[in-house]
Amino acid sequence: MIFDYDAILRAIDARVSATPPDEIPQLLSPLPLAIWGELLLEVPARYPNLKAFFPSMASEEIQTHWTGNHGTALLGQTIAFVESLVNGYQTMTRRGLEKARVLDFGCGWGRIIRLLYKYVGYENIFALDPWDEPITLCKQHGVKAHLALSEDVPVVLPRSV
């Protein structure tokens, strides 16, 4: 059965700007992770609030240079990782990620962070990278998370984590 998500996306688009960060996962809950990920590859103009609120995507060149892949092929790999992370967390803790604090060490251009918005409020996402270029790129694209530069092999986490 093919499902039309347009009505759901229009409803989310109408509410996203006024939704508190910790309620974003609940707002996105009707969407399967694959649909959410596809949307973030290039948010259509017909969802102007979603397009303005969520980060734009890094160029195909950056995606390929940093990960060896780009677009839908890389999205499939990232979805598999995020599903494994979510399922593992739920199995180990017997609860969802909604109130968890998540650390993405080596965040790169924020490909995992983008998908995590479906599960955890962006105020509870902490993104570190030992290279300043990824942090700058995340900021340029509007990635919502606590972004910080770290040591190559951190001995302690930055104070914001």
pLDDT, one tens digit per residue, over 82-135 is: 999 999 999 999 999 999 999 999 999 999 999 999 999 999 999 999 999 999
pLDDT at 4: 84
pTM: 0.92
At residue 155, the pLDDT reads 73
Q: How many angstroms separate the Cα of 14 from the Cα of each of 11, 46, 125?
A: 5, 11, 24
Q: What is the DSSP letter of 37?
A: H
Closest CA to 160 of 125, 135, 133: 125
pLDDT, residue 151, reads: 79
Query: Which pLDDT score is estimated for 1?
Result: 43
What is the rounded average pLDDT for all residues in the chain? 94
CA 12 centroid distance within chain: 16
Would you put residue 71 in left (φ > 0), alpha (ψ -120 to 50) or beta?
left
Query: What was the pLDDT predicted at 152?
Result: 79
